[in-house]
Each structure stands twice: as structure tokens, then as C-alpha cells.
Amino acid sequence: MGIWKRHRDGAIFEKTNFMSATNTAMTTTEIAHRLVQLCSKGDFETAQKELFAHDAVSIEPYATPAFEKETKGLDAIIEKGHKWNSMVEEYHEMKVSPPMVGGNAFAVTMSMNVTMKERGRMDLTELCVYNVKDGKIVSEQFFM
């Protein structure tokens, strides 16, 4: 049994009293806060390598000429990130909301102001929903 704590951003989470050798997986709340910490700095690849399962799935709102609707596997998700970065000329601002956690899922909004190569400067905001299993993110889905 854990102790309920309030994070400084207002989110309520359960903090366990101990970590045993058999209970080393991060909780959904811990994963959510770590993802926010890393993505707020634009460190998406570290977030993926640290928090995602090897068989994770990434689901976009729709397929585009540049990206499939669904990407399967951590290596493919990381490669999709490299492709995205190659399309961005400059990141001006990145904001990630505090997470809303419910059971084995959490959601954040991500807003960025970027200059895209050949498309100019733009604001992008997505609702990002993550599912967690066995201490790893197994899926992410984006809504615009």
C-alpha cells in the first residue's frame, strides 16, 4: 500500500513506500511525469528509449505523404522522430501540460512553435494519449 501525494503541478499520485527486487517497474504516474520532463526539453528520443516498450505502437491522427498512420516497434518510432526532425528547421517553443493519469493510461497536450523547412513557422498542438503495461509505454496516439 502506498501513500497518496500531490505533485507540485497539482497531479495526485500514489507513492509506494518501498521498491523491492520484484517491483522495479515504474508506475504509470512516474512514467507520465518523466515523459513530460523529457519532452518539455525536446528530448523525445531519450523519452522513447527510456520509457517505451520494444513493441510499442505510435498512431497518428491520419496518414500523410510523409508518415504512415501507424508505426510499430521502438526502432521504427525512433526513426519516425528522426524523419520529423529532418523536416524541422528550428524549434522556437515547446510546452507540455501536466499529465492526467487514469489507471494504465495518461494524456498530455503538447504544443510547439516550429519553423518547418519549405512550410514556414507554425503552431502545432496535439492531445497525446499513452497506454502503459508492465512499466513501459506500449502505445501512443495523437489527436489534433
Fold of 3-17+25-143: Nuclear Transport Factor 2; Chain: A, (3.10.450)
Phi and psi based region of residue 19 (left: phi greater than 0; alpha: psi -120 to 50; beta: remaining)? beta
Q: Where are the domains of the chain?
A: 3-17+25-143
Average of per-residue pLDDT across 68-90: 96
10-67 confidence digits (pLDDT tens): 555 544 443 434 557 899 999 999 999 999 999 999 999 999 999 999 999 999 999 9
Cα–Cα distance measured from residue 137 to residue 27, given in angstroms and rounded to the nearest whole number: 11
Residue 9 pLDDT: 54
Query: What percent of the chain shows pLDDT beyond 90?
Result: 82
Residue 19 pLDDT: 43
User: Which residue is associated with the grid cell 527510456?
Assistant: 50
Cα–Cα distance measured from residue 126 to residue 129, given in angstroms and rounded to the nearest whole number: 10
Residue 24 pLDDT: 78
Write down the mean pLDDT value for the chain: 88
Cα 141-30-98 angle, rounded to 5 deg:
60
**10 vs 125, residue with greater confidence:** 125
Q: How far is CA 137 from CA 57, 97, 114, 115, in A?
A: 9, 18, 26, 29
Q: Which residues pair with 100 in a beta bridge?
A: 107
**Contact by Cβ (8 Å): 122, 114:** yes
